[in-house]
Amino acid sequence: MADRVAWGEQGIDVIEDRTAPYSTLLELRRPVEHEAAQLIHGDLTGNVLFAADDEPAVIDFSPYWRPPVFAEAIVVADGLLWFDLPAAC
């Protein structure tokens, strides 16, 4: 549901004491210029298995219908937040 709300596809009823932060987030949201949406893995980071002499295997598929750049952004954000990659990579 949060994904659909973030992309402007669905509205929600907001708990009264959360209306101010929710309104702030809505004001900060900007349109995303992107290619057409397609099927992407919404949680690719950490869900690819590697073995010597074998093709990588993608597991735990989390399907989303979003632009390809969104999948790339998830991988970058996960790398920064969960794997301590330097921002200058």
Burial class (CB in 10 A: 0-12, 13-18, 19+), 43: middle
> Looking at the predicted structure, is the pLDDT value of residue 85 above 90?
no
Answer yes or no: pTM beyond 0.85.
no
Query: What pLDDT was estimated at residue 88?
Result: 80
Residues 66, 76: Cα–Cα separation, whole Å: 16
Query: What pLDDT was estimated at residue 89?
Result: 60
Percent of the chain having pLDDT more than 90?
Answer: 71
Q: Tally Cβ neighbours within 10 Å of residue 69.
A: 13
- Identify the CA nearest to 67 among candidates 39, 44, 30, 43: 39
pLDDT digits (tens, 9 = 90+) for 17-53: 999 999 999 999 888 887 899 999 999 998 999 999 9
> Looking at the predicted structure, is the pLDDT value of residue 66 above 70?
yes
Residues 20, 42: Cα–Cα separation, whole Å: 28
